[in-house]
């Protein structure tokens, strides 16, 4: 088997915008470029964090990889096999190996299903367990893996009878029941209380070791990403602007955007009252993905931008050492 479990090459997803009558008659079409040329690889057994603000395309990327959406162009290669345009029944086989944990554990489970039925659904869809006892054993095993014990007790509960943390565990069990090799976790802890957040992350980390899983961890929260991931990719307006080992990205950020993000993170330490933080970023908003700036897409908010940044073509990811890549034309000057 290849070293890279997943390879994403130049992936794009353009959503067509609604057009007016004149645009329709002239045959014009504008797009919101939610994901605009994303490439990365995930090694087997690795945890990659995909980080960005809302609207940067991180969730769309996750959905494209899960094949919940069809990519506009680009390739997704899983275990050496191109899965970009899979159709059933091959798609079903692919989904056995790649499963997803959703952000909101309150919305991602049918409220009228007991936990047993919630976990049984994937088994039935993929026609796995043949007998009742076999299915029951699979469900018990999955629940025990996520430490929802005693499993028989939890099986006969409804989702509303569980706390947020327990629900997210049940959602993880549902993903694990098909023994996938990769999990896409879309903000799995952002809806969970602080006191249990660490518990869920800890559990996911234990599973990662025990079951030799690979994770794509999608989040907006740099602090948990630093704790949880091996590598971090930072997205801005549909493109990766920096990727590297978690430690390198956090401690030696290369891209001006990453620097601003890191500067903006609050930490629970004293002595910051009355201290106004000056973020190394221009005031203003993220441009709309329907109207991405020319040249480097960050130049409208970058404090280091020079005419070359918007006159020349978009910068590619260049290596600055130790597999740490940055998409900034002026990286050497602003170091």
Partner 1 sequence: MTNVLEVNNLKLYYYTSKGVVRALDDITFSLQEGETLGIVGESGCGKTTAGLALLNMPMPPGKIAGGQIIIDGQDIVPLAEKEMRRHVRWQKIAMVFQGAMNCLTPVFTIGKLMMETMLEHKTMKKEEAWHIIEKYLGYVGLPAGVTKRYPHELSGGMKQRVVIAMALFMNPKVVVFDEPTTALDVIVQCQILNLIKKLKLEKALLSCIFITHDLATEAEVANRIMVMYGGKIAEIGTNQQIYSERAAHPYTKKLLAATPRLHQKVDHLSFIPGAPPDLLAPPTGCRFHLRCEVAMGKCSAQEPPLIEIEPDHKVACWKVGYKE
Residues near partner 1 (CB under 8 A) are 53-54, 163, 165-166, 193-199, 201-202, 220, 222-224, 226-227, 247, 250-251, 260-277, 279, 281, 283, 285
Q: How far is the CB of 313 from partner 1 (least distance, A)?
A: 26
Q: Which is nearer to partner 1, 179 or 190 (CB)?
A: 190
Among residues 28 and 223, whose Cβ is nearest to partner 1?
A: 223
Strand duo 4-16 + 182-186: pairing: unpaired
Q: How far is the CB of 163 from partner 1 (least distance, A)?
A: 5
Nearer to partner 1 among residue 155 and residue 261 (C-beta): 261
In order of 50, 137, 138, 170, 171, the CA distances from 143 in angstroms are 27, 10, 9, 7, 10
Q: C-beta of 250: minimal distance to partner 1 in Å?
A: 6
Q: Which is nearer to partner 1, 178 or 207 (CB)?
A: 207
Q: How far is the CB of 223 from partner 1 (least distance, A)?
A: 4
> Degrees (nearest 5) of the Cα angle 248, 46, 175?
130
Dihedrals phi, psi of 269, to nearest 5 degrees: -130, 155
Residue 144 Cβ, how far from partner 1 at the closest point, in Å? 17
The residue among 99 and 166 lying less far from partner 1, judged by its C-beta, is 166
Give me the least distance between CB of 275 and partner 1, in Å please. 8
Nearer to partner 1 by Cβ, of 1 and 275: the residue is: 275
Phi, psi of 257 (to 5 degrees): -65, -45
C-beta of 70 vs 285, nearer to partner 1: 285
Distances (CA, A) of 217 to 48, 135, 214, 279: 6, 29, 10, 26
In angstroms, rounded to a whole number, what is the distance separating the alpha carbons of residues 210 and 76? 27
Minimum CB distance to partner 1, residue 260 (Å): 6
């Amino acid at each position: 088997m290849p070293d890279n479990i997943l390879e994403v090459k130049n992936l794009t997803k353009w959503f067509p915008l609604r057009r007016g009558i004149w645009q329709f008659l002239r045959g014009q079409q504008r797009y919101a470029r939610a994901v605009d040329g994303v490439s990365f690889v995930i090694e087997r057994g690795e945890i990659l964090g995909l980080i960005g603000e809302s609207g940067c395309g991180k969730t769309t990327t996750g959905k494209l990889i899960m094949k919940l959406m069809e990519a506009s162009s680009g390739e997704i290669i899983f275990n050496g096999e191109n899965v970009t345009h899979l159709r059933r029944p091959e798609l079903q086989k692919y989904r056995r190996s790649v499963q997803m944990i959703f952000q909101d554990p309150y919305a991602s489970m049918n409220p009228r299903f007991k936990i047993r039925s919630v976990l049984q659904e994937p088994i039935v869809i993929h026609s796995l367990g043949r007998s009742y006892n076999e299915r029951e054993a699979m469900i018990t095993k999955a629940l025990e893996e996520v430490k929802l014990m005693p499993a028989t007790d939890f099986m006969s509960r409804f989702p509303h009878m569980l706390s947020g943390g327990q629900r997210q565990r049940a959602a993880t069990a549902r993903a694990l029941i098909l023994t996938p090799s990769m999990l896409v976790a879309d903000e799995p802890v952002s809806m969970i209380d602080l006191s249990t957040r660490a518990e869920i992350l800890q559990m996911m980390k234990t599973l990662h070791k025990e079951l030799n899983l690979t994770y794509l961890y999608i989040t907006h929260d740099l602090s948990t990403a630093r704790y949880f991931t091996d590598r971090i990719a930072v997205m801005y307006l549909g493109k990766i602007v920096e990727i590297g080992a978690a430690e390198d990205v956090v401690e030696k950020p290369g891209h001006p955007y990453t620097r601003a993000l890191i500067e903006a993170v609050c930490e629970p330490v004293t002595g910051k009252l009355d201290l106004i933080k000056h973020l190394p970023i221009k005031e203003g908003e993220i441009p709309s993905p329907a109207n991405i700036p020319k040249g480097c897409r960050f130049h409208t908010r970058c404090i280091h931008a020079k005419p070359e940044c918007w006159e020349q073509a978009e910068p590619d990811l260049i290596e600055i050492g130790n597999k740490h890549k940055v998409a900034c034309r002026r990286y050497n000057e602003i170091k």
